Amino acid sequence: MSQTPAILIIIVTWNKKQYVLDLLDSVMTLDYPTEAIDILVVDNASNDGTAEVLRGQYPYVHLIYNAENLGGTGGFNTGLQWAFSQPENRYKYLWLLDNDVLVHQRALAELVAVLEEKPRVAIAGSTMMQLDYPWRINEMGAFVDTQHHPGHLILNRHLEWIPAWQGKTAQQLLSEDVDLSQHLIHCNSYMDVEYVAAASLLIRADVAKQAGLWRDYFIHFDDVEWCLRIGKMGHRVVVSAKSLIWHLSAAAKVSTWVLYYDNRNVLDLLTVHQVRPKLIADVRRLIYKKAVYYHLIGKSDLAELHHHALVDFDAGRMGKRNIQLAAAYQSNDKIAAVLQNPEFKRILIAWTVNLHATKIQEALVEAQLQRPELQVTFMPLLNGEMVYQVPRPQFTLPLSPKRLKRWWQFWKMRGKYDLVVQSDYQPIIGLSWLNAKILFINDEGFCLRDSPKWQNVFNAFKLWWKNH
């Protein structure tokens, strides 16, 4: 390069102080001239001291403090508006980053190299690796299905992994040679896709200004729509196999309030990009069907979010919605209080629950030692195998491999337990109807819920059938 292109880095954050500090630490190691980089952090009204720490530790970072949480959409739009207001040609490229990523030292340089060499490319994104499994690819860009499963994101090379990196931490890999085109079969140094995540998205500043701000989605699908929009303007969107970031994988996260935005926003995206009405109608029917499912497993508040998404989309209501859920999640280290509750004397644990992954094994053993009256029963796997997770476990009889007979077995269990522990990753509908409290648990948290109600299921089914 005859002249180093000037870059504005835009980071949006909300109550993730340590994540932002870790990100900025990795940004400081970038193999790119520091005098060519400006950093803008948009703080969405954090109350964890983020702004104060940034002012103290990074006084040269531009900081905008929004009066309220505007979500990823509002935060990045705030940053883009600031960038658009700067003198023309001040920045050649804008680099959008999630607040909870770590960037490889060559991440920026490799993205810039693509845009410098390929004038038809308007957006270059990084390959996203998983922070919790640093040797595994989360996505290398993505495509948007508008034919068979409209709105579904097809993640490029999802979950492929690099054997040579296994066992290494992301911190160790930040400065190593990580050119994936040398590690993966049939992998070019960059490739065309329809979408790259704003977790690491480098865009030409003039194209960004021409494309305009993101649609008001609050969170989710906003960067997807922007990439599709820019693609329709005649520009290419590519992902680099030489530019890497590490991001927490979504595998351990369980969707709750974001379901509203996912469903509402995907309908808007498909409508804006003129997907055939029949396919949009198929998506609407699927949303009604998912509402029935959430009522069946006992998550009625999440079921209603699907209905709210449809109503608000039809009314043209976008942006942030005030969402109040009936059941709040708590950290798994708080589960001892539930296990010590005298209301729960008979506990059934589904075969899908891993006590070690959820880190509740010790709390359960302690509860059994302190409460001699406590009866904890485990369910064997569907193949009949008994998985031992605590000393001297009690097991139910094996379940039938035939679905109808298994449902009859579930029905005969009604009233025999006070608490049923289910995995959030694989809820079993039949176990939600045992006339007991349900504890849904994942690797990060748990919540207590009441048994589902037939009337809720019936009403949701009627809505689905009416729109079928």
Mean pLDDT over 134-149 rounds to 93
Percent share of the chain, pLDDT over 90: 95
Q: What is the mean pLDDT of residues 294-309?
A: 98
What is the spatial distance between Cα 237 and Cα 208, in angstroms, rounded to a whole number? 13
Supply the pLDDT for residue 66: 95
Q: Which residue has the tokens 């993966």?
A: 184
Of 93, 88, 89, 90, which Cα lies nearest the Cα of 108? 93
pLDDT in tens, 164-180: 999 999 999 999 999 99
State pLDDT tens for residues 179-215.
999 999 999 999 999 999 999 999 999 999 999 999 9
Cα three-residue angle 278-280-286, rounded to 5 degrees: 105
Please give the Cα distance from 332 to 328 (Å, whole number): 12
Locate the domains of the chain by residue range: 7-252, 258-325+456-466, 330-443
Whether pLDDT at 130 is above 60: yes
pLDDT band at 252 (very low <50, low <70, confident <90, very high): low
Q: What is the pTM of this model?
A: 0.94
Q: Map residue 109 onto helix, strand or coil.
A: helix
Place of tokens 């608000």: 312
Is domain 7-252 classified as CATH 3.90.550.60? yes
**Is 249 in a helix, a strand, or coil?**
coil
Residues linked to residue 10 through DSSP beta bridges, in sequence order: 40, 96
Mean pLDDT (whole number) for 249-277: 91
Give me the pLDDT at residue 459, please.
96
Instruction: Give the other-Cβ count within 10 Å of 240's Cβ.
Output: 28
| Under 8 Å between Cβ of 420 and 434 | yes
Mean pLDDT score, 131-150: 92
pLDDT score at 153: 94
Class of domain 330-443: alpha beta
By the 8 A CB rule, do 425 and 253 touch?
A: no
Element (H, E) at 130: strand 121-130
Q: What is the DSSP string of 30-82?
A: -SS-GGGEEEEEEE-S-SSSHHHHHHHH-TTSEEEE-SS--HHHHHHHHHHHH
Q: Say whether 448 sits in a helix, a strand or coil.
A: strand
- Quote the pLDDT of residue 1: 43
Q: What is the pLDDT of residues 214-233, one digit of tens each?
A: 999 999 999 999 999 999 99
Angle at 263 between CA 79 and CA 202, to 5 degrees: 30
Using a pLDDT cut of 70, give the percent of the chain over it.
99
Do 7-252 and 330-443 fold alike per CATH? no
Which pLDDT does position 2 carry in this prediction? 52
Give the pLDDT band (50/70/90) at residue 433: very high
Spatial separation of the C-alpha atoms in residues 11 and 22, rounded to whole Å: 13
Q: HEC string of 70-90?
A: CHHHHHHHHHHHHHHCCCCCC
CA 458 to chain centre: 31
pLDDT at 253 over 90: no
Segment 67-116, tens digit of pLDDT: 999 999 999 999 999 999 999 999 999 999 999 999 999 999 999 999 99
- Does residue 117 have a pLDDT over 90? yes
